[in-house]
Amino acid sequence: MKIKTRLNIVTILSIGSVIGLYLYLWFSTFQVDQHFEQIDQISDFTNTVSELNLVIENYLEYREQRHLESWNALFNRLTEYEENIEDLSETNVIGNSLSSIESAFELIEKIRGNPDAYPDIIDRYRLLDRATSRIRSDIQMLLTISNNIATNRRQTIREIQVSQQINFLMIMIPVVSFLGYLLYQLRSRIQSSLNILLEGTQEIAKGNLDLRIEVEGNDEHKTLAENFNLMTRQLQEQINKERDAREKAEENQKRWEGLVEQDPNLVMIHFDGEIQFINPAGAQMMGAASPDEVVGKSADNFFLETEHQRRREASITRNGKDEYSPTIRKVYGLDMNERFVQIESVPIKYYGREATQTVGLDITEHIHHERELKKSIEEKTILLQEVHHRVKNNLAVTSGLLYMQRVSTDNPEIASLLGESERRIKTMTLIHELLYSSTDLSSIPIDEYILNLVGLIQKSLDPNENIRVNTNADSFSINVTQAVPCALILNELITNSYKHAFKHGETGTIDINITQNKDNVEFTIRDNGAGIPEEILNDENNTSLGLTIVKTLIRQVEGTFDIRNNDGTIAKIKFKKEANAKTTSNSL
């Protein structure tokens, strides 16, 4: 049974007992009051009988009118009492005695009123005596009975009072005993349970979490003990978990500390720039002999931003988590040495606070190497440009010499041959010109080159621009190795179309398509001219210089060459592009 239920029972019993006792006492008091009221009424009756006795004696002796009036009044009052008082009306002798008294009184009045009817004086007085005696006897009876009734009432009151006391004890003793028993049981139960719980908690307080508190019964203390045991068990599990976690953390800490201690890179933790932790390598980067010299100082004192770094950091994309992409910072150490450190920061929790962990790599030597390399590259670039420039200039000189010879000869054939040679040299010159004017000295943009080449040829062979040249080239670059043969091949094929496809003064169209599909490059040159004579096409041993150059150069770029007639001439060259060539998405 639960303690709450027990307490409820005790409370209900207590309240019930109090109410019951109150009702019982109220009822008993009511009963006693009723009896007292009856006694008072009977007492009035007795007093009236006594008065009647006195009045009758006086009247019989003196026959005063006032006594007769008193008699009538008193007798009527007694009759009323007899009718209204319960005890008197229930007792026949009262009414009978009153009736006898009245009859006897009337008889006396009759005798005294008419004494002549009783001529024998002795008999008259005997009769009067007997009537008087009857009245006295009945009055004495009334007094006796009323006194007895009052006595009985008093006795009843005493019995009620005794009964009240006995019943009070009979009710109170078992109720109080039972309540006492319940309270004793309850107290013992609570005390026992509390002692067990108290001892248990003391044991647990000493650290004995293996203890399980056992409380008998099925009450709140049992539940409390079970919950307490559950709490202890969970606490123990939690402690075990935390111990495991702590051990693991300590192990990780040791491992981390070991790693960090031995890490040649910077490992630093700071709150808003204030250094909380730094490993020895980091301290060394700061020019300090030990981490203690650095901890507590602001990281901004060591890491300075150059204008270049500011620009670079401004362009760094922050991912919204205080996580920074690697950046290079110049460090001015306590030893006044300048170092370059590549740092990377991530937000972490450090002792429960938001912190930033920065990992840094000393790249001072790398920076120095880079600078030297850059300087070397710059020097070589200048040198290469100079080479290209000189090659171009030499080729330009050669071309100029050929031009001078061409314009100085009267032989048109020689002039033409010289002109071809001049264009071929210019073709190569154009390549070197593009190379040295470009930032990239190893490849040339093919689309740009084609436009220049077409312009060059057109200027040389069709200054009137009778032949329309449509150029469609993908935007990509090819390296110098392939660029020169390609340039010469294109020069030969375009020149061939200008010179042989159209008669002098004819109009026509040359379509140049240059496409790149992955690493495959295809040149297509089509004209709508007369086409190449079939005997030349079918002659395997054709010794035409132009075709010979083309075939020779095709082999150099390891490509294929196809030429045929189809409403003009179509020449297709395919080869695989070598690496180190840039591609852009722009197209002409």
Partner 1 sequence: MIASRSVLRSLRIKFYAFLFCCMLTGCYQSESGQHEELQEVAIGVTSTYQGEAATYIAKERGFFEQNGLNVTLKENPSGKLSMRDLIDGVVQIAHVAETPVIYSIMDTSYFKGSDHPPFQIFADKIYSHDIQKIIGRRDHGITEAEDIVGKKVAIYQGTQLDYFFDSFLLEHQILNSEIEIVNMSPEKQIEAIKNGEIDVSVTWEPYSSYIQKELGENAFHIDTDLTYSTLWLSVALNSYASSHPDILAAYLESIKMAQDYIRENPTDAQEILASKTNVPLDVIESLWTEIDFELSLSERMLTLLEDQARWMIRNDLADTTIQNMEELINFGPMEQVHPIGITVVR
Binding residues for partner 1 (CB under 8 A): 91-93, 95-97, 99-100, 103-104, 106-107, 110, 117-120, 123, 126-127, 130-131, 133-134, 136-138, 140-141, 144-145, 147-148, 151-152, 155, 170, 173-174, 177, 181
Please give the Cα distance from 154 to 39 (Å, whole number). 8
In the chain, the N- to C-terminal Cα span, in Å, equals: 98
Q: Looking at beta carbons only, is 105 or 523 nearer to partner 1? A: 105
Q: Residue 57 Cβ, how far from partner 1 at the closest point, in Å?
A: 15
Q: Residue 247 Cβ, how far from partner 1 at the closest point, in Å?
A: 41
Q: Looking at beta carbons only, is 194 or 401 nearer to partner 1? A: 194
Which residues partner with 565 through β-bridges?
569
Q: Looking at beta carbons only, is 88 or 521 nearer to partner 1? A: 88
In 3D space, the residue among 343, 333, 356, 349 whose CA is nearest the CA of residue 270 turns out to be 356
Please give the Cα distance from 190 to 182 (Å, whole number). 12
Residue with tokens 């009537």: 131
129 and 107 Cβ atoms separated by less than 8 Å: no
Write the DSSP string, 226-293. HHHHHHHHHHHHHHHHHHHHHHHHHHHHHHHHHHHHH-SSEEEEEETTEEEEE-HHHHHHTT-SSGGG
Q: Looking at beta carbons only, is 139 or 450 nearer to partner 1? A: 139
Buried b / exposed e across 156-172, counting CB within 10 Å, b at 16+? bbeebeeebeeeeeeee
Q: Residue 114 Cβ, how far from partner 1 at the closest point, in Å?
A: 11
Q: Looking at beta carbons only, is 91 or 265 nearer to partner 1? A: 91
Q: Residue 138 Cβ, how far from partner 1 at the closest point, in Å?
A: 8
In 3D space, the residue among 431, 443, 438 whose CA is nearest the CA of residue 396 turns out to be 431
Q: Looking at beta carbons only, is 67 or 189 nearer to partner 1? A: 189
Q: Looking at beta carbons only, is 91 or 442 nearer to partner 1? A: 91
Looking at residue 470, the DSSP 8-state letter turns out to be E
Q: Residue 148 Cβ, how far from partner 1 at the closest point, in Å?
A: 6
Torsion of CA 303, 306, 307, 312, to 10 degrees: -60
194 and 228 Cβ atoms separated by less than 8 Å: no
Do the strands 443-445 and 266-271 form a parallel or antiparallel pair, or are they unpaired?
A: unpaired
In 3D space, the residue among 39, 31, 42, 41 whose CA is nearest the CA of residue 162 turns out to be 31
Please give the Cα distance from 475 to 582 (Å, whole number). 9
Q: What residue type is assigned to position 104 of the chain?
A: A
Torsion over CA: 38, 44, 50, 52 (sign): negative
Q: Looking at beta carbons only, is 15 or 162 nearer to partner 1? A: 162
Q: Looking at beta carbons only, is 77 or 110 nearer to partner 1? A: 110
Report CA-CA distances (Å) from 256 to 182, 249, 263, 292. Answer: 66, 10, 10, 19
Q: Residue 199 Cβ, how far from partner 1 at the closest point, in Å?
A: 14
264 and 281 Cβ atoms separated by less than 8 Å: yes
Q: Looking at beta carbons only, is 150 or 281 nearer to partner 1? A: 150
Q: Looking at beta carbons only, is 130 or 233 nearer to partner 1? A: 130
Q: Residue 12 Cβ, how far from partner 1 at the closest point, in Å?
A: 21
Please give the Cα distance from 108 to 114 (Å, whole number). 10
Q: Residue 118 Cβ, how far from partner 1 at the closest point, in Å?
A: 6
